[in-house]
């Protein structure tokens, strides 16, 4: 009586071990974390990854007004100001700091810019296909080792230095 039980148990265990993994869920292939080299080259026409290009970088230009943040190897002396454009609209908004174009912010997104400390002017523009535009600012605030946040809404904007 004990032998048939052990034989049945052994057959059951063996069948479980030999069962194909058909019923198992497939795990997605994970890409490993890491870094990759950039691709450099000459332009050969339109880039299929870009629909609306912006101004090109000048490889020989040195911009003394650009500020490298401390966490990215920037200077340890002097002051910096982080400007945050917080977009609460469904529009793309062009952002300017100290009268210079610094990028755009996607709908409901945030954009960050680092500038030297001192009086900092912000200005933003939402342009529309009918030729109209909505502007935010200009607004100048003193910012030194602070965060200057500008919150953009469809009908108003707010700003604060923290």
Total residues belonging to the chain: 162
* Nearest residue to 89 (alpha-carbon basis) of 151, 37, 28, 21: 151
Give how far Cα 60 sits from Cα of 56, 57, 63, 86, 101, Å: 12, 9, 10, 32, 19
The reported pTM is: 0.62
* Nearest residue to 113 (alpha-carbon basis) of 154, 77, 80, 142: 80
Domains identified in the chain and CATH numbers: 70-156 (2.60.40.2890)
- In three-state secondary structure terms, 4 is helix
Please state, in angstroms and rounded to a whole number, the distance separating the CA atoms of residues 119 and 142: 4
Task: Give bridge partners of residue 160 from the DSSP assignment.
Answer: 149
Residue listed under structure tokens 């026409």: 45
Q: Could you read off the pLDDT of 62-99 as tens digits, one per residue?
A: 666 666 666 666 655 667 889 999 999 999 998 988 88
Q: Could you read off the pLDDT of 109-157 as tens digits, one per residue?
A: 999 998 888 898 889 988 888 888 888 988 889 988 899 999 999 989 9
């Amino acid at each position: 009586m004990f032998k048939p039980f052990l034989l049945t148990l052994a057959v059951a265990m063996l069948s479980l071990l030999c069962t194909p993994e058909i019923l198992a869920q497939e795990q997605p292939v994970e890409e490993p974390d890491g870094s990759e080299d950039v691709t450099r080259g000459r332009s050969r026409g339109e880039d299929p990854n870009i629909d609306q290009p912006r101004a090109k970088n000048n490889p020989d230009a040195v911009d003394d007004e650009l500020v490298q943040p401390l966490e990215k190897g920037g200077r340890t002396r002097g002051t910096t100001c982080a400007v945050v454009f917080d977009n609460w609209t469904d529009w793309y908004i062009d952002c300017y700091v100290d009268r210079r174009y610094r990028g755009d912010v996607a709908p409901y997104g945030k954009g960050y810019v680092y500038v030297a400390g001192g009086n900092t002017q912000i200005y933003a523009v939402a342009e529309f296909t009918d030729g109209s535009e909505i502007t935010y600012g200009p607004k100048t605030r003193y910012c030194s080792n602070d965060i200057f946040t500008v919150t953009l809404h469809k009908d108003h904007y707010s700003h604060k230095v923290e």
